[in-house]
Structure 1
Amino acid sequence: MQQERLSFIFLLVILCRHGVKAVDLTACEGETAQLTCGDLTSEVIACDSDTANLHCDQGHIKVLSANYGRTNSATCSSGKNEISNIQCTQDSSLSVLASRCDGRKYCSIPASNTVFGDPCVGTYKYLNVSYICIPSSAIIQKRTTCEGDTISINCNNRFIKVLSAHFGRTNSATCSTGRPSNEISNVQCIQSSTLSVLADQCDGTHACFVYASATVFGDPCPLIFKYLNVSYICHPNNQFIKVSAANYGRTNSTACSTGKPADQISNVQCSQSSSLSVLTTQCDGLKDCYVPASTTVFGDPCSGTYKYLNVSYTCGPVFLTLGKSAQLKVIAKLKAQLCLCLYAFEGLQQFSRHTVVFLSLFMKSRYRAASFVCTVNMQQGRMSFIFLLVLLCQCGVKAVDLTTCEGATAQLSCGLTSHVFACESDTASIHCDQGRIKVLSANYGRTNSATCSSGKPADQISNVQCTQSSSLSVLASRCDEKQNCSISVNNTVFGEPCVGTYKYLDLSYVCIPPSEVIQTENSCEGGTFGINCYKQFIKVLSANYGRTNNETCSTGRPADQISNVQCSQSSSLSLLANQCNGKQACSVSTSNTVFSEPCVGTYKYLNVSYICQPNNHFIKVSAANYGRTNNETCSTGRPAGQISNVQCFQNSSLSVLAAQCDGKQDCSIPATNTVFGDPCVGTYKYLDLSYTCGPAFLTKK
Structure 2
Amino acid sequence: MPSCFKLSAAFLLTATCFILTAVVHSQEQMTTCDSDPFHVHRLTCDEGVITVDEALYGRSDSMVCSEGRSPQEVANTQCAQEGTLRTMSALCNGKKSCEVNTGAFRNPDPCDGTFKYLATNFSCTPTLILIACEDSLAELFCGPQLVLLIHGADYGRRDRTTCTFERPRAQIQNTECLGPSEVVATMCDGKNNCVIPATNGVFGDPCRGTYKYLEVAYTCECYVSWRDTKSGSWYMETVDRILEEHAATDDLNMPSCFKLSAAFLLTATCFILTAVVHSQERMTTCDSDPFGVHRLTCDVGVITVDEALYGRSDSMVCSEGRSPQELANTQCAQEGTLRTISAICNGKKSCEVNTAAFRNPDPCDGTYKYLSTNYTCSDTLILIACEESVAELFCDPGYVIAVYGADYGRRDQTTCTFERPPAQIQNTECLGPSEVVATMCDGKNNCVIPATNGVFGDPCRGTYKYLEVAYSCECK
Structure index of larger Rg:
1
TM range (shorter): 0.3 to 0.5
Which structure has the higher relative contact order (CA within 8 Å, separation 6+)? 2
Normalising by structure 2, report the TM-score: 0.39
